[in-house]
Amino acid sequence: MSRSGLFISFEGIDGAGKSSHIDGLAQAFRAQGRNVTLSREPGGTPLAEKLRELVLNDPMDALTEALLIFAARRDHLCQVIEPALARGDVVLCDRFTDATFAYQGAGRGFDTNLLSILERMAQTGVAPEPDLMREPDLTVWFDLAPEVAAERLAGARVPDRFESQPVEFFRRVAQGYADRAAAAPQRFARIDAAQDRHRVWQQLTSVFVRKGWLSIMVPTPGAVA
């Protein structure tokens, strides 16, 4: 099995259920002898976690929000993601730039051409290849109808600036993800997140097995053997 680094991001609207599966995948990779770096965005470094607090809680205009998110992303790439890939780790990242196109672009209506410019600035010049714009090798997209996601989230916790948005916002965000997936189908794996947890896990792991990144189907985490 390949020992070169792998960069995998996980995306979907709030409530799509991605977070619970990321830990399971980390365990599966570790069980097969891989070193795993688990991280999230915005965040993943002390500086980026401070920026996350601001972005999720403090009112700000759309450009400020986008700049802070990409500033956090660059720090995360420089401090954590690139060094981990250089070591040959599997990097599992809860959200990355597709979230910016979905939430700030489609959700908030921020200019996606400008986001593309920021993306190029923030993600280039950190990899060993100077001209490479670092992107995930694979993006797992947990696709779920916004109405179902809203039901799952209801009462779960105190909502942040994004979780408190109305369902129409999440319809646009979901469309934003669909557009990003259509534009880069070779990078995206769509998971039908409306299925029960066990089936979501099966669909998820089968993607990794097909790619040769996991060698066997792994049982659902927490399932009784």
- Report the nearest approach of ligand TYD to the CB of residue 10 (Å): 8
19 lines the binding site for ligand TYD (CB under 6 A): yes
5 with 82: CB under 8 angstroms?
A: no
At residue 23, the 3 state secondary structure works out as helix
150 is in an annotated binding site: no
What number of chain residues touch ligand TYD (CB under 6 A)?
Answer: 14
Cα separation, 171 vs 146, in Å, equals 6
Neighbours of 84 (CB within 10 A): 21
Out of 7, 8, 9, 14, point to the residue binding ligand TYD (CB under 6 A).
Answer: 14
Cα separation, 57 vs 179, in Å, equals 27
Nearest to 136 by CA among 84, 87, 97, 99: 97
Q: Candidates 23-31, 97-105, 135-143, 211-219: pick the segment binding ligand TYD (CB under 6 A).
A: 97-105
Out of 94, 106, 126, 176, point to the residue binding ligand TYD (CB under 6 A).
Answer: 94
Phi, psi of 51 (to 5 degrees): -65, -35
Out of 23, 135, 163, 179, point to the residue binding ligand TYD (CB under 6 A).
Answer: 163
At residue 94, the 3 state secondary structure works out as strand
Out of 95, 134, 172, 180, point to the residue binding ligand TYD (CB under 6 A).
Answer: 95
16 is in an annotated binding site: yes
**Token code pair at residue 147:** 């109405």
- Report the nearest approach of ligand TYD to the CB of residue 173 (Å): 8
41-70 residues near ligand TYD, rule: CB under 6 A: 41-42, 56, 69
Cα separation, 219 vs 21, in Å, equals 12
99-158 residues near ligand TYD, rule: CB under 6 A: 99-100, 103-104
- Report the nearest approach of ligand TYD to the CB of residue 165 (Å): 8
- Report the nearest approach of ligand TYD to the CB of residue 162 (Å): 3
